[in-house]
Amino acid sequence: MNKELPFRCGYVGLIGRPNVGKSTLLNHLIGQKISITSHKPQTTRHRILGIKTTESAQIIYVDTPGLHKGGKHAMSRYLNRAASGTLNEVNVVIFLIEALVFTDEDAQVLEKLKTLKVPVLLAVNKVDRIKDKEKLLPFLADVGSKMNFHAILPISALKDINLQEIEQTISKLLPEGEPWYAEDQVTDRSVRFLAAEIIREKLTRALHQELPYNITVEIEQFKTGGEQTLVNAVIWVEKANQKGIVIGKDGERLKEIGKQSRLDISKLIEHRVHLELWVKVKEGWSDDERSLQSLGYKDEF
């Protein structure tokens, strides 16, 4: 660590509507995959910390579920609470939107940000998709006029465009202080949690439009010993017909999900993995506060 400059440490909230690229941004800022991604909105369901330690700072990024309209459903209420609660606990906020797109949900997020007393950076994502870059300038000017942002940065989370500039800007805004986490630690989540998320990612990607949102994964056993780690996981759905969708014809879909999950979990823990998956039905779990808590959906702020 650089002893000539004061060391800085603090929390940075990644805030935005669903499916705008927050998890992809976190993974690329950290340089390691710790938050699952897919093209479906609301893939992220939990607050996840991504920890980046440099010579001069420890930046603790907080990935959150996308803020969205509605909230009548218990899961939706939980997701909005998880995202909103982050705003009260961070030193800096990155407001992530998509280039040339500003929706009603973006506007709803912006209204929450206007009440904050911490610096807000506007990160305009997916600029690599814009062929005519001249269209960006009026868009940036328009969105930039909606709030007094500390900085406005056109970026591509996927292509690593201007991510170094984000990190440098944030580092200067964090309070002086000693690091809170070990230098080599990249997240606060356990391997059990990350294993469950890996399985849920494979489900989301394999099932596409068939996948009901009312699906989750619970790790029942995670036991390391000898030459391999034993992982037993339950995939919870809400209806009997959803169970058939997940399993697929002759069980082939579940086998493929298991294969892909096993490879990624093995890579994560650097150990051979024996993975066993079961699909079970628990009616109405996603709209029941007690069931949500029992399955790990607990308020953390």
Q: What is the CATH number of the domain that holds 229?
A: 3.30.300.20
In b/e form, how buried is each residue of 161-182, taking b as 16+ CB within 10 angstroms?
A: bbbeebbebbbebbeeeebeee
pLDDT digits (tens, 9 = 90+) for 105-119: 999 999 999 999 999
135: in domain: yes
Nearest in space to 171 (alpha carbons), one of 95, 86, 91:
91
Q: Tell me whether residue 202 is in a domain.
A: yes
Task: Judge contact between 25 and 157, C-beta under 8 A.
Answer: yes
* Residues 139 and 244 occupy one common structural domain: no
The domain tally of the chain equals 2
In Å, how far are 55, 108, 144 from 168, measured between CA atoms?
A: 12, 28, 20
> Domain for residue 179, yes or no?
no
Instruction: Give the 3-state secondary structure of residue 91.
Output: coil
Same structural domain for residues 74 and 141? yes
63 and 103 belong to one structural domain: yes
My answer on whether 150 and 197 are in the same domain is: no
Residues 79 and 142 reside in one and the same domain: yes
Separation of alpha carbons 194 and 185, rounded Å = 14
Instruction: Please determine, for residue 3, whether its predicted confidence score (pLDDT) is greater than 60.
Output: no
- pLDDT digit string (tens) for 234-284? 999 999 999 999 999 999 999 999 999 999 999 999 999 999 999 999 988
Residue 46: closest CA among 184, 194, 157, 191: 194
Considering the domain architecture, whether residues 212 and 88 belong to the same structural domain is answered as no
Long-range contacts of 170-173 (CB under 8 A, 24+ apart): 170/12, 170/57, 170/59, 170/92, 170/94, 170/121, 171/8, 171/54, 171/56, 171/57, 171/59, 172/8, 173/10, 173/91, 173/92, 173/119
CA pair distance 114, 118, nearest whole angstrom: 10
Considering the domain architecture, whether residues 269 and 243 belong to the same structural domain is answered as: yes
Strand partners, 48: 63
Structural domain including 44 reads 8-173
- State the pLDDT at residue 301: 47
Decide if pLDDT at 2 tops 60.
Answer: no
Based on the fold, state whether residues 26 and 139 are members of the same structural domain: yes
Tell whether 164 is covered by a domain.
yes
- Domain boundary, last residue among 112, 141, 173: 173
Q: For residue 120, what pLDDT band results from cuts at 50, 70 and 90?
A: very high
- The answer to whether residues 19 and 165 belong to one domain is yes
Per-residue confidence (pLDDT) for residue 121, from 0 to 100: 98
Do 162 and 43 belong to one domain?
A: yes
- Pairing mode of beta strands 8-15, 57-63: parallel
Has residue 41 got a pLDDT over 80? no
Domain membership flag for residue 184: no
* pLDDT value of position 19: 84
Q: Is the model more confident about 204 or about 101? A: 101
Sorting pLDDT into bands at 50, 70 and 90, what band is 14? very high
Q: In whole angstroms, give the CA distance from residue 244 to residue 207.
A: 12
Please check whether residue 301 lies inside any domain of the structure: no
Residue 159 within any structural domain of the chain = yes
In a shared domain, residues 169 and 201: no
218 phi and psi, to 5 degrees? -125, 125
By CB neighbour count within 10 A (0-12 exposed, 13-18 middle, 19+ buried), where does 26 fall?
Answer: buried
How far is it, in rounded angstroms, from Cα 68 to Cα 55? 37
Please give the pLDDT value at position 9. 98
pLDDT confidence of residue 48: 87
Residue 196 within a domain = yes
Q: What is the CATH number of the domain that holds 113?
A: 3.40.50.300
Whether residues 123 and 197 fall in one domain: no
Assigned token pair, 236: 């919870």
pLDDT at 258: 98
In single-letter form, the type of residue at position 233 comes to A
Residues 6+ apart with CB under 8 A from 37: 23, 24, 27, 43, 201
